[in-house]
Structure 1
Amino acid sequence: MKRFLLLFIFLGSVSYAQTLRDINYSYLYDPTQPVTLDIKLIRKADAWDVFYKLQHRDSLVTGLTIEWSTRTSLNEKEGPVVNAASPNKEGSLRVSVSASVQLLVAKVVSATAKQAWLFYRVLDPKYPSNGWLTSEGQPVLVPFVRGDKPYRVQGADQPLIVSHYRDTFPAANPAFSEALGKVAPILKVDSVFVIQPDQDFMAPNQGLYLVQRDTTSAEGFAFRVQHDYPRLTKLESLADPFIYVCTRQEYDRLKQTRGDKKAFDKVILGITGDAERAKQFMRTYFRRVELANQFFTSYKEGWKTDRGMIYIVFGLPEEVYKFSDREVWNYKNSSYKISFDFVKSPTLFDPDNYVLLRDKKYTQTWYEVIDLWRNARF
């Protein structure tokens, strides 16, 4: 994956106020960044409970602190401080509920590296959350879990209804497609069970789970159970993500291998034409699949989402700009210059879901990039 220079806020100007709208957020999706911040929002009647965990990847970047504040819009340069700068890398805080939308901003500063990173979440009074998942007493901050561990729902004072959906959901259609992936207008519930507020439960079956107090309301929270995830390690898991770079005939042959490594390798070798290119192709492609699963898992696997698809095919964008209703990704490298708009399309299963605005203008560039993949020249 290509790496690009990013514009950071240097410590000397950390106190300088700036609007969230003007920041290049490509660092959010860059696995080489020294820090990232996982945030989980829980809306209650009178307050937001916020759980967070700072992931620290670089031992040379030290002296980290986190300061929390709120703003009323992306155009505001600063807002009232909720929690003063603290060295705690994980924990929780509480923010009062407002009748209007607020933005919760976390500023992570490294005193030694003289850098700062801004992360924010939208505090929408209509956010459909009334509980959260814990494992071994710790809040689960990501939208996917394993099925071989016990979990518990917190924040509930009455029995909860858990609905399981086995729907596999389609992979995203290409950027030039005029049609969206077909999703049933009404999801069929495959099984339902009830859990008590203080009861551990298991979710052994893969798929989408929705936890609710009342199944007739637009309240609740969802999570996915995946066994081989976010990094795909089993041969039978590898065929599906190739849908973006294979012909229909190649894809069908990969699906038919059903765990037969020799047959699988033969198809991949037929795509790249060279054993070394095949190795590089597999290594790079599935690293991007893994990252797409980490960054973009929604009601379906991250690699199947629109943002996940673009991330896999085109890589890390040089620029990511966030607006109240969309994200804009800009690619400005030597091979192609192209932009993608993702419009926010919230659902009960994922309040932060995004959908790509597709256009035929992407056709030529799409096939040129796919050709680079197939010749291991990405």
Structure 2
Amino acid sequence: MTRYKINLKTLGFLAFIISILTFPLNSYSQETLETVNQALRYSRYSRLALKIIPVQESERTFILKMPIEKIEDNIDFDTYQFSYAVLSGFQEPLTAQNLVTLTRQDLIKETDFHYFFEKRVDIPASQETAIAILKAVDTRQGDVYYYHLDLISPFIFGHPGFWAYYGDNIPFDQNFILKNQPVEFKGRGIVTLYSFNYPANFDSPLPPMEIRPAPVPREVQVDFEGDFLLNNLKSFTKDGYYFIQSDTNSTQGMLIKTVHEAFPKVKDYEEMVEMVVYISTRNEHETLKAAEDKKKALDQYWYGMLKDEEAARKVIREYFKQIEFANILFTDFKEGWKTDRGMVYTVMGPPNEVFFRPNGEIWSYLIANSNSKITFTFARVKNILTPNYYILNRSRALQPEWFKSITAWRNGQMVF
């Protein structure tokens, strides 16, 4: 079974710096989902990747499936303190009273790749909003990891009563899957699932300072792929993305995007040409797309930009590492690098600050040699395919720092 595990060897000093950047300014105030800095969620040096997958049993009963990916090698369970909670909103304090500790005895399963917890929760009829949160504290440096997901809120359509699983019975914790890679779907009280394929290919997004509306396709092609039974292996063979439902009259379902065998890494020179759009001039990119020999054209492109082979190799390595992380972190029905968050992440790097609101996500970057920072705000949009669909609030005010970052890339000076 394929896993997309990132091997991170040199963590010490960088993790210490990140812990400083992510430490609350007022550590004595009560933390809430709105006030905790979740930059570690998108860091290139995270040791864990947390996920909550809610399977809905009834209108107000959920099974919280909580797989925690082990990014760090030779991880020790006792190095971390795990807990979870169900909050009534983003302003409810995160306290010892509402956080439930998860111990080794709570583990449903441990594999080489994951810890896996599972808890059933009932939401009171009077509670209008319910947010599940998973927390992990690294007892060595004090790094704190969070992951949260709406169970009940105005921004979601609900959750499916089934899910997909790897061969080792760990819940499928990614939005993307290799074509023809089998997974097993499981659920209670459900026998048949229905599969719809959307063979869509998306363009890269407009830059942050481009305020004109992006073109929207007039029609979306969808192909009904038929039904299949639960508790059997199922693979997906076509390009695009799939939406799996147990009830085709409902708005609940599971999104899976099919990807090529090299994903989240770049596959070939054709794809590489697509991906350099963010740091290229229009003429440069058109020339690359028109070239018959893409490798030769790219060699000329990189050397013409950097004027030094070693510098070019370094920029290529770093740029496509950013693409890889964007794909891992932000893929939904689009490849991660083609989303608004993926675009900003690729060019600007991992944000120094990440704050969540019920209706959005706010990223901030500290500006070198300055006390100021630049902020990118992503508006949350209700979407049937994913509970985490965000669109950048574009503004011409973002142009100066955006161009500075592009210039840094083109001069070989971008460092993360």
Instruction: Measure the CA separation in 2 of the matches of 1:186 and 1:214.
Output: 23
In the alignment, what sits opposite 1:197? 230
The structure-2 alpha-carbon separation of the partners of 1:357 and 1:36, relative to structure 1 and needing over 3 Å to count, comes to same
Q: Does 1:33 align with 2:46?
A: yes
**Rounded Cα–Cα distance in structure 1 between residues aligned with 2:147 and 2:410:** 36
Q: Which residue of 2 aligns with 1:22?
A: 35
In the other structure, the counterpart of 1:316 is 350
Give the CA deviation at 1:81.
4.6
| 8 Å Cα contact 2:31/2:93 also seen in 1 | yes
Which of 101, 114, 118 matches 1:84?
101
Q: 1:258 to 1:41 in 2, by over 3 A?
A: farther
Q: Is 2:200 the counterpart of 1:170?
A: no
Q: Secondary structure at the match of 2:91?
A: coil
Cα distance 1:93–1:325, how it changes in 2: closer, same or farther (>3 A)?
A: same
Work out whether 1:101 is the aligned partner of 2:129: yes
Number of matched pairs: 374
Structure 1 counterpart of 2:242: 209
The code of the aligned residue for 2:332 comes to S
TM-score normalised per structure 1: 0.89
Q: C-alpha separation between the residues in 2 aligned to 1:252 and 1:361? A: 27
Write the distance in 1 (CA, Å) between the matches of 2:254 and 2:201.
Answer: 19
Q: CA deviation at 1:170?
A: 2.0
Using the alignment, how far apart are the partners of 2:299 and 2:310 within structure 1?
Answer: 12
Deviations 1:64-84 (A, max 9, x none): 231122221222223665743
Q: Is the 8 A contact 2:160 2:245 kept in 1?
A: no
Question: CA shift at 1:367, angstroms?
Answer: 1.9
Query: 1 CA distance for matches of 2:245 and 2:160?
Result: 9
Taking only aligned residues, the RMSD between alpha carbons, in angstroms, comes to 2.7
1:368 counterpart residue number: 404
Measure the CA separation in 2 of the matches of 1:161 and 1:91. Answer: 28
SS across alignment from 2:250: coil
Q: 2:56 aligns with which of 6, 22, 43?
A: 43
C-alpha distance 5-178 of structure 1, shift in aligned 2 (>3 A): same
Of 189-198 and 55-64, deviating more is: 55-64
Gapped regions of structure 2 (runs ≥ 5)? 1-12, 108-114
1:289 to 1:335, Cα distance in 2 relative to 1, 3 A: farther
| One-letter amino acid of the structure 2 residue matched with residue 348 of structure 1 | I
Matched to 1:326, the amino acid is G
Does structure 2 retain, via aligned residues, the 8 Å contact 1:51–1:141? no
TM-superposed deviation, 1:115: 4.6
Contact 2:50 2:145 (8 Å CA) reproduced: no
Report the counterpart of residue 214 of structure 2 in structure 1. 181
Q: Give the drift of 1:183.
A: 3.2
Greater CA deviation, 31-40 or 160-169?
31-40
1:142 and 2:156 are equivalent in the alignment: no
Contact 2:186 2:231 in 1 (8 A): yes
1:255-334 correspondence to structure 2 within 5 Å: 255-257=289-291, 260-334=294-368
Gaps in structure 1 of 5+ consecutive residues: none
Inter-CA distance 272–335: structure 2 relative to 1 (3 Å threshold)? farther
Cα distance 1:288–1:180, how it changes in 2: closer, same or farther (>3 A)? farther
Identity %: 24
Do the aligned partners of residues 25 and 115 (structure 1) sit closer, same or farther apart at CA in structure 2, a change above 3 Å counting?
Answer: closer
- In 2 relative to 1, CA 312–180 (structure 1 residues): closer, same or farther, beyond 3 Å? farther
Secondary structure at 2:51's aligned position in 1?
Answer: strand
